[in-house]
Each structure stands twice: as C-alpha cells, then as structure tokens.
C-alpha cells in the first residue's frame, strides 16, 4: 500500500532518469497528448506525504496520488506493457525511458502558481520524511483537527502527511496506545513522540527492501523464515510478537479503515496518563473536510 515511504522511494527512483531530461512526449488520460510539453525539462521531483510532484519547466507541475492501487512502470519508449497500458493515467517519455503511472486516482497537470490554492495540497501538514521535520508543529496542527480517535488523527494529512493505514496501526502498537483513545486525552509531549516514532519507522523503510517495522534490515539480508514483517497490520487472530495475545482488528473511523492492535499491549484507554489541559488548549477553529 503506497504510504509516505513508498512515495519518497518512487521520487528517488524517478530523479536520475527524469530530472534534467527533456520530454519526448507527455500524455494524460483526461487531456490526451500534450504536445506543448515536448522538449520541456523536469526541473524537480518531490514527495509530499503521499503526493508526488513533478515540476515541468518553470510554470507547471504534475501531481500524482497513487491511492490504494496506483503503480509506476518503467519501459523503453515504444515497448509494450499490457498491464501498464490497460489502466494508464499518465505517461512520460524521454529519449531513453517511458514511465507509465497506472490506476492512480489523481494525476493532474497544475500551474505552479495555483499550488497555494489547491484544495488538498495547500492544506497538508508537514511531511514526516522531510529533512528537519518538526513534530511540535504537527502537534499544533493536530489540535485543530476534528478526529475522534488517535488512529483517525494519524490518517489526517492536515496534521502531518505521509502516514497511511499500515503505519497508523504499527505506530500505535510501537507506542502502546489504544487506537480508540481520543486525541485530546494524549498530552502534547506524547503526541510529539507518536509523530517522531512514525518518522523513525518510515525512515527505516527508505531502502530497497519490503516494508518492515519488526527490525531494521540491511539490503541483501535473508528474512528469517516465518518472522512477520509487521507487528500488527494484517495479522488479525495471530499471536502478538511481544506478548502472545491475539491481534485484534476492526473497522474504524468515517472512512471505515481496518485498524489492527494488540489488546494487551494497547489496553483500552491507554496511554494511562491523561492530560486534561490538552483539550482546553485546543484551537477554537477546528478544520473539517476530506482527508
Ligand atoms: Zn501484545
């Protein structure tokens, strides 16, 4: 599932072949061939949470969000790839490569001047994987969110961006927090620690290996037979790697995303220390809307 770490890895992989290379062609499903971009140069490729931004020339930017099922494919120009072509939404060709983005729910061409007013991009919180990420800034923004639970808050990209459904469950397990705890019951220092933990877990997965939170792996290591790669995500009914209790799962939040947790390591109401001042210092202007 593409989360912030995946999108940063994609940006890292696209940079060498695309940055500074003049485009041979650009095609978008809803716009067709964009002949005016032939010869345009990719100036910068960046990840912002789960969003990929490809700056084209001085005035435009391609914005891609992979959603749950989007994927990138790399081929030579003119080379057939039935899987990529069947559901392509964006195609970028240079003299040496053809990159196809398929099944992404968002692939749009924007003017750079319009980014500051974009309904989603302009409202994103700090990127958890950005250099100099400041967890206290995320906490201030989190206090303005209207999430009912800490799990829903972690998915709210307006507080901090990059966490998806996998890291949501893994971070809360790592921190020993009940996913249903209301955010206002978690004090600022603890909430900052939650975001810092998310950053650390995601940073650990920027290499070429498959995503894991169970232990750091180096490229080339053989994974021990039978050892799960994640502590709780996707492991409903299996034994907790820490305490042996059965991992639970349930749909949560307005978007009904599945949450996985260990009822013994993350007991109801945890963390136990409750900071009542957290709710009284919340901003008077909550922001609402789509995540
Ligand atoms: Zn446990």
Average pLDDT of the chain to the nearest whole number: 91
In which band, very low, low, confident or very high, does the pLDDT at 291 lie, cut at 50, 70 and 90? very low
- Return d(Cα 212, Cα 227) in angstroms, integer: 11
Q: What is the pLDDT of residue 224?
A: 78
Q: What is the pLDDT of residue 226?
A: 82
pLDDT of residue 288 exceeding 60: no
Question: Ligand 1 centre and the CA of 231: distance in Å?
Answer: 9
In which band, very low, low, confident or very high, does the pLDDT at 218 lie, cut at 50, 70 and 90? low
Q: Boundaries of CATH 3.20.190.10 in the chain?
A: 4-123
Active site residue 44: no
In sequence order, the 6+-apart residues with CB closer than 8 A to the CB of 96 are 17, 21, 76, 77
Active site residue 158: no
In which band, very low, low, confident or very high, does the pLDDT at 274 lie, cut at 50, 70 and 90? very low
Q: Select which of 2, 126, 183, 271 is catalytic.
A: 2
Q: Boundaries of CATH 1.10.8.50 in the chain?
A: 135-280
- Return d(Cα 107, Cα 89) in angstroms, integer: 7
pLDDT of residue 248 exceeding 90: yes
The 10s digit of each residue's pLDDT in 69-100 is: 999 999 999 898 999 999 999 999 999 999 99
Q: Select which of 257, 264, 267, 291 is catalytic.
A: 257
Neighbours of ion ligand 1 (CB under 5 A): 240, 242-243, 245, 262, 264-265
In which band, very low, low, confident or very high, does the pLDDT at 225 lie, cut at 50, 70 and 90? confident
The 10s digit of each residue's pLDDT in 28-58 is: 999 999 999 999 999 999 999 999 999 999 9
Mean pLDDT, residues 121-141 taken together: 97
Which bin fits 39, alpha (ψ -120 to 50), beta or left (φ > 0)?
A: left
pLDDT of residue 3 exceeding 80: yes
Mean pLDDT, residues 125-146 taken together: 97
- Is the pTM higher than 0.85? The answer reads yes
Q: What is the pLDDT of residue 283?
A: 38
Question: Ligand 1 centre and the CA of 208: distance in Å?
Answer: 29
Question: Ligand 1 centre and the CA of 263: distance in Å?
Answer: 7
In which band, very low, low, confident or very high, does the pLDDT at 287 lie, cut at 50, 70 and 90? very low
CA atoms within 13 A on the CB side of 29: 16
Does the domain at 4-123 match CATH 3.20.190.10? Answer given as: yes
Question: Ligand 1 centre and the CA of 92: distance in Å?
Answer: 46
Percent of the chain scoring above 70 in pLDDT: 91
Percent of the chain scoring above 90 in pLDDT: 83
Active site residue 2: yes
* 48 DSSP β-pair partners: 51
CATH of domain 135-280: 1.10.8.50
Active site residue 264: no
- Return d(Cα 178, Cα 180) in angstroms, integer: 5
Q: What is the pLDDT of residue 48?
A: 97
Question: Ligand 1 centre and the CA of 155: distance in Å?
Answer: 23
- What element of type H or E holds 203? helix 188-203
């Amino acid at each position: 599932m593409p989360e912030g770490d995946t999108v940063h890895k994609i940006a890292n992989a696209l940079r060498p072949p695309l940055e500074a290379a003049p485009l041979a062609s650009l095609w978008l499903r809803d716009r067709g061939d964009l002949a005016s971009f032939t010869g345009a140069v990719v100036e910068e490729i960046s990840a912002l949470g789960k969003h990929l931004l490809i700056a084209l020339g001085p005035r435009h930017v391609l914005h891609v969000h992979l959603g749950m099922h989007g994927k990138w494919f790399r081929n030579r120009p003119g080379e057939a790839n039935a899987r990529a072509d069947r559901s392509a939404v964006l195609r970028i060709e240079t003299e040496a490569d053809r990159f196809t983005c398929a099944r992404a729910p968002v692939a749009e061409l924007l003017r750079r001047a319009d980014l500051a007013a974009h309904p989603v991009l302009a409202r994103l919180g700090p990127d958890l994987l950005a250099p100099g990420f400041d967890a206290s800034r995320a906490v201030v923004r989190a206090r303005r969110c209207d999430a009912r639970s800490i799990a829903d808050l972690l998915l709210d990209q307006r507080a901090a961006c990059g966490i998806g459904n996998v890291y949501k469950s893994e971070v809360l397990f790592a921190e020993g927090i009940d996913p249903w705890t209301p955010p206002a019951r978690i004090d600022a220092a603890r909430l900052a620690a939650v975001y810092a933990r998310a950053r650390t877990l995601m940073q650990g997965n920027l290499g070429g290996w498959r995503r894991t939170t169970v232990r750091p792996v180096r490229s080339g290591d053989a994974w021990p037979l039978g050892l799960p790669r994640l502590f709780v995500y996707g492991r409903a009914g299996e034994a907790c790697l820490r305490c042996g209790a059965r991992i639970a799962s349930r749909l949560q939040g307005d978007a009904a995303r599945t949450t996985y947790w260990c009822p013994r390591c993350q007991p109801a109401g945890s963390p136990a220390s409750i900071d009542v001042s957290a709710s009284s210092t919340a901003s008077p202007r909550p922001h609402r809307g789509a995540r």
